[in-house]
Amino acid sequence: MAAESRPLNEVVFLTVAEVAAVMRVSKMTVYRLVHSGHLPAIRVGRSFRVPEQAVHEYLRESYVGVETV
């Protein structure tokens, strides 16, 4: 079920630091993904929260398969 169709009380939001840990990238990389629109987020005060499902979908869509020759 997509995050957009779930009730908000069922959506798990992650901080930028948590997203960076899950993706094993820097926090700056996460900020770039959010600002470029590649990773949806909501702003809470001065910080961002990213739906956990959006992180999983981004990783799934970004998967690059290796072909053997």
Chain segment 10-59, per-residue pLDDT in tens? 899 999 999 999 999 999 999 999 999 999 999 999 999 999 999 999 99
Higher pLDDT, 65 or 39: 39
- For 45, the domain range is 8-62
Provide the whole-model pTM: 0.80
- Can you spell out the DSSP letters for 15-42? EHHHHHHHHTS-HHHHHHHHHHTSS--E
CATH number at residue 15: 1.10.1660
Q: What is the predicted pLDDT for the residue at 1?
A: 44
Counted domains in the chain: 1
Tell how far CA 35 is from the center of its chain.
12
Query: Residue 3: what pLDDT?
Result: 47
Q: Per the domain annotation, does 1 fall within a domain?
A: no
Kindly state whether residue 69 falls inside one of the protein's structural domains: no
Say if 41 falls within a structural domain: yes
What's residue 67's pLDDT? Answer: 64
